[in-house]
Structure formats: C-alpha cells, structure tokens
Structure 1
Amino acid sequence: MHVEHLIIGIIAICTVVWVLVMATLGVALLRGRRAGADNAKHEARLTMTVVAAVAATVAIIAGVTIASFYTTRNIGVPESAALTITVRGQQWWWQVFYAGAGAAPGFQTANEIHIPIRTDVHLRLESLDVIHSFWVPSLAGKQDLVPGRSNSVLLRAEKSGVYRGQCAEFCGLQHSHMAIMVVAEAPADYDRWAASQGGDAMTPADPDAAAGRAAFLAKPCAACHTVRGTPANGTTGPDLTHIGGRRTIAAGLMETTRGSLAAWIADPQTLKPGNNMPMVPLTSAELQNISAYMESLK
C-alpha cells in the first residue's frame, strides 16, 4: 500500500509539472512576440523563470528520492509470515531448505518451491558463489542473492498454479539455464506434499530400480548427492531423495522423465556445459538402472 501511494504521488507531481511547463511555454511564446524593444526586461524575467524552475526541479527530485528511500526501506517480510524457506543460489541451480515444524523434520529439495496459496511465505535468499537474482515475475519482484549476506523476499500466490522463475542476474555460462518453479497449491495439498518430502526415500521394489540403487551407491554419485534413508549423504550436488517427483531436472533444462534422467546422467557436460557434475563412466545397464532408480524417487 505504501508503494501504491508513492507511485500515485509521483504521477500527480509529474502531471502538475507537465501542466506548469506547458503553461510557462505558452506564456513565454506570447510574451516573446510582444517583447519588441524591451529585450532587457524580457531576458531578466526569463532568467528568473529558469532559476525558479531549476530550484523547483531540485526540490522535487530531492523530495521524491527521500520519499522513495523511506517507502522502500519499510518494505520487508511481515513478522506474521506463516512459512520461511531458505533458497541458496549456486552455479547453476537452486538449493531449497524447508525448516522443520514441531515434530515434522526439515527437508531439502532443489529447483522447485511448493507454497500454500493465500499465505505469506518468507524466502531467505543466500548465495554460495556469485551474485544471483531470484525473480518470479507473477509473484514477486527481483531480489539479489549476494555472497556473504542474506536478503529476503515475500511470496504470496492467490491462485493455484505453477509459476516459472528465473535467475535475473548474469552469473556465468549457464545463467539462462537457471530456472526455478514455484508450485502454489491448496493448503491441504501442500501439507501432504511437505509430509512426503520430509520422509526418507522408499526402497524400490522394481528390479531395475533396485539394481540402480546398488549402482548409485557404489559409484561416485553418493559422494556428491544425498538420498535420505541410504548411505548417500553428499552435499555438493542437489538432494535427490525425491527427485522423481519434481517437474524438471537441471534447473528447468528438461522435464523429469526416465529418458531425460538417463541423458543427464550419461553426459551432463554436453547438456549444460560448465556445470559441476562430472561424467561418471557407466555401462549401458547401469545407466538404465540408475535412471529407473531416480525416476522411482517420488
């Protein structure tokens, strides 16, 4: 509301200034025709007008600047925000932390944020490497993620839906492939999602997925990624505990399907050059099994 009043005030001031400028211009044109030999008096009056206009301009700009400063500094996350989520930007993906509530454990996800509709959600923004910028145009303005400090932004969705966001600050080679999805859903649906996300990964019953779990734990994958409920507890890459339930992989690069998972695991550097995931040598059978295991983690 404060920003709305500021904008209305600036528009009103600009309108008044425009009317005065047009009126002054009209008067100057009329008097210029009648000035004749009295050029000295006309020049003096013109000088006074210019000086007054410059002084008024300085006063208006100073006033608007001060008003903007005090208005925007009061924009913050209300103390009553029902949910706080920490979002960390990295080259080139988003790490998302949900704090535990009561007996419910906290959990971590990546590149996808779920929020309940008609609820104030406080995002605490951090960066571990370079400056990123969190921007979900349909829900909030841009806010930078700066290494060494924490910024905040408020999200509130009035309607259910999937809102696409994007890193809006150039952060390196794959900056354009650093998207984030915000899923706004009814509170009951959000509660079910959060409860499922807080649990460990289920042991797969499918033979291919079970073989993939064994291969995943035997390969270097487990040194970089976490899958809760297994010995895999790496922190370098995204938490994969429920990766099969996410809409996209690689920060919006591809939809989450078994085929796209296999393509990413097989050669991540071709799909997203410069990212921190190395190409792990796998046999064809291991690749098929690990992709089946990743797809099963929902």
Structure 2
Amino acid sequence: MSPPTSTPSAPGNAGPVDGLANSLAGWPPPVLDPAGPFAGSISTLSWILFAMGVGVLLVVLVALWIALFGKERLRERLGGSKAIWIGGIAFPVVVLSVLLVYGLTLTRNLTAPPGPVAMKARITGEMWWWRVDYLGDNGQPQLRDANELHIPTGRTVLLELESNDVIHSFWVPRLSGKLDMIPGRRNVMKIQADKPGVYGGQCAEYCGGPHALMGFVVVAHEPADFARWLAARKQRLQQAAPATATPASVSRGAQLFQSTGCAACHRVAGTEANGLAGPDLTHIGTRQSLGAGILPNNRGTLIGWIGNSQAIKPGNRMPPYTMLPGEDLQALADYMQAQK
C-alpha cells in the first residue's frame, strides 16, 4: 500500500500540511512505489533482481536436497564436471550478461544527457541538514531554502549535488535513484514527479552523528500552482519580514531572534539576520517539516525544537536554549511561523 501523500497547499499563503505522516510523506520513504520515470526504471530493475534472487535460492535448495536425500544417480550427475561447467560457469555468464545489457538499457534515462528541464536547483549536504538553492538561467541562486524542494509535476528537474563537509547521499526513492554528494565535487541527477504530492527523502550515506535523522521533503505542484508559488517566493524577497495577526508576540520574537544569537547562524530575508551556518529561515512558516524532515511543522514542534533540539535530534549543531522561559519560546515560535 502506498504511504499517505497530500496535495500541496495553495502557494504563497497556506501553511504546512497537518500531521506527521503527511508532512513526511511516509517514513521511512518507500523504495518500490515509483512516482516518476526515473524511479520507475529503478523499481522495475529491482523487482527483476528480486525475482532472480528467489529463483537462484530455489535452485540452490533443490540442489541441496538432491545432495542430501537424492538418488545416487542424481547425486553423481549433480557433482559431475558437466553440471559444474553448465551450472557454475555457462549459465551465470549468459544470465548476468543479459541482465547487464538489459539493466543498462532500462536505466539509460538516469545517465542520458538532460533534455529540456523545468528548473535547476542546487542541493548542498550539511551536517545534518540540506541547503537548497533554486538556480536561475545563469546558474546563480535566485531563492534559498532548506530541507525542502518544490518542483512542478510532469517535468524533469535537474539537481546539482554538493557537500560542504563529509560525504552525504541524496535519495528521494519515489522520484529517482540515490547519488553521493562528495566534498569538492559537483554531481548531477534528474528527478521527476508525475503527480502532485509530498515525497520523503533521506541521506543514504552514513555521515556521522544524527545521520538517520537527516530527512528531506520534495513538494510537487501542478505547473500553474508551481508558477504561482515561485512568484510569491520572489515577491517575498523584495519585502521586509511580514507582519501577522499577533504583532506584539511576533515583534517580541524578532527581538529575541537577534538578542539570543539566532541571527548569527540563520538568515531571514528583509532583516539584519544573515547567518549562513544554519538553515535559511526566510520561509520556515510554510515548510512541511522541521529538523530536516523529521517533524511536522507546527507551533508545538517549533517551541520544542527551539527550546532543546538536542533532545529531539541528538548531535545536531544547534545548541539548546533551555535557559529561555516559556513565553520567550512561544514568541520565537510565533516569529518563525510569521515567516511565509
């Protein structure tokens, strides 16, 4: 059964999808439920390999039964040179050669030069989160986000994969294969979603510390919805930080964001916060998840994460703020939720 997915909210003004299962699109991400052509070829090849594995196991079990309980004539034939040449050399060579050719043909769409692409994005692996840059036609970042990528459906998206520290591996199983992110090198991969939804991903290369809690979210929109979402994001960058229905709490949160040192690590467009060590928080109020894909994004989880993220994701690089009283944590959470 496919995991629950949800249609993305209307671009620009809607909040995150409610519920842990929806925000993470199933956890762990399903690996044999393709939602696009690049994942589809991998899934088909995987099922063929599973079937071949079962077939080989049955042959071995039959041979074992003959060796233990079969008639003398069958055991002699099983141990003869002819059986060894056919079953041990000729058969594997033929089968594996056919599988190699078929597998390369089936998955050629993964390595073929990209044709027309809907957009380009750069995903940079960090310890232990993802930096996301939406690239313009000149290859330069236009928008910056973290732990979440928005794409249009039915169109190929080209990803540039990098790492700022150790080897990571980018993997959204329903949209494509996995590809390593190696410091000092830029790898390229293609993804595509054929229908709107929220697709979970995961770092697939052990990178130390909370590696298992380094998730990722891809949100696929219909092309017209994606165009509106993108326009709203670009408009947001040209404005100061937005106001909300609770200006007193948000104002208090903005002051705390500066005075407690949050701005030293995080960026919020339109403010003096320009830190680069941690995730960009310009649009955190509309993100599906927190903590790199491990929590649904709502006021309660924001308060818990700000107060003591080490209790949720031990070893991450954000220090605990257990010294802050509850009202300060609530004000900071309100300020974060105001960042649309």
State whether TM-score is above 0.5.
Answer: yes
How many residues get paired?
A: 275
Matched letter for residue 202 of structure 1: A
2:306 partner SS: helix
- Specify the alignment match of 2:7 in structure 1: none
Matched letter for residue 327 of structure 2: A
Matched letter for residue 228 of structure 1: A
Question: 1:247 is matched with which residue: 267, 284, 288?
Answer: 288
Higher relative contact order (CA 8 A, sep 6+): 2
Consecutive unaligned residues in structure 2, runs of 5 or more: 1-36, 64-69
**Aligned partners of 1:222 and 1:233 also within 8 Å:** yes
Matched letter for residue 60 of structure 1: V
Structural mapping, 1:155-174, within 5 Å = 155-174=191-210
**Aligned partners of 1:162 and 1:183 also within 8 Å:** yes
Question: 1:117 is matched with which residue: 146, 150, 153?
Answer: 153
Q: TM-score, normalised by structure 1?
A: 0.78
User: How many Å apart are 1:63 and its aligned residue?
Assistant: 3.6
2:242 matched to 1:203? yes
When the two chains are superposed, the root-mean-square deviation of aligned CA atoms in Å is 3.6
2:110 partner SS: coil
Cα–Cα, structure 1 residues 168 and 139, in superposed 2: closer, same or farther, change >3 Å? same
2:194 partner SS: coil
**Aligned partners of 1:163 and 1:182 also within 8 Å:** yes
- Specify the alignment match of 1:75 in structure 2: 110
| Distance in 2 between residues matched to 1:257 and 1:69, nearest whole Å | 44
- Specify the alignment match of 1:38 in structure 2: none
2:224 partner SS: helix
| Distance in 1 between residues matched to 2:85 and 2:331, nearest whole Å | 79
User: How many Å apart are 1:58 and its aligned residue?
Assistant: 6.9
Structure number, greater radius of gyration: 1
**Aligned partners of 1:203 and 1:210 also within 8 Å:** no
- Specify the alignment match of 1:180 in structure 2: 216
2:168 matched to 1:132? yes
2:296 matched to 1:296? no
User: How many Å apart are 1:188 and its aligned residue?
Assistant: 1.4
User: How many Å apart are 1:132 and its aligned residue?
Assistant: 2.0
User: How many Å apart are 1:105 and its aligned residue?
Assistant: 7.2
Cα–Cα, structure 1 residues 52 and 260, in superposed 2: closer, same or farther, change >3 Å? closer
| Distance in 2 between residues matched to 1:252 and 1:49, nearest whole Å | 53
**Aligned partners of 1:204 and 1:293 also within 8 Å:** no
1:75 partner SS: helix
Matched letter for residue 288 of structure 1: Q
- Specify the alignment match of 1:258 in structure 2: 299
2:303 matched to 1:268? no
Cα–Cα, structure 1 residues 59 and 236, in superposed 2: closer, same or farther, change >3 Å? same
**Aligned partners of 2:133 and 2:141 also within 8 Å:** no
**Aligned partners of 2:171 and 2:202 also within 8 Å:** yes
2:258 matched to 1:217? yes
| Distance in 2 between residues matched to 1:247 and 1:52, nearest whole Å | 56
1:143 partner SS: strand
Question: 1:232 is matched with which residue: 254, 273, 298?
Answer: 273
2:60 matched to 1:60? no
Q: TM-score, normalised by structure 2?
A: 0.69
Larger deviation, residues 75-84 vs 247-256: 75-84
User: How many Å apart are 1:169 and its aligned residue?
Assistant: 2.3
Consecutive unaligned residues in structure 1, runs of 5 or more: 34-41
**Aligned partners of 2:241 and 2:271 also within 8 Å:** no
Matched letter for residue 258 of structure 1: R
Moved over 6 A (4+): 1-4
| Distance in 2 between residues matched to 1:49 and 1:261, nearest whole Å | 65
| Distance in 2 between residues matched to 1:257 and 1:50, nearest whole Å | 63
- Identity within the alignment, %: 41
Matched letter for residue 287 of structure 2: R
User: How many Å apart are 1:160 and its aligned residue?
Assistant: 0.8
User: How many Å apart are 1:277 and its aligned residue?
Assistant: 0.6
Matched letter for residue 200 of structure 2: R
Matched letter for residue 300 of structure 2: G
- Specify the alignment match of 1:37 in structure 2: none
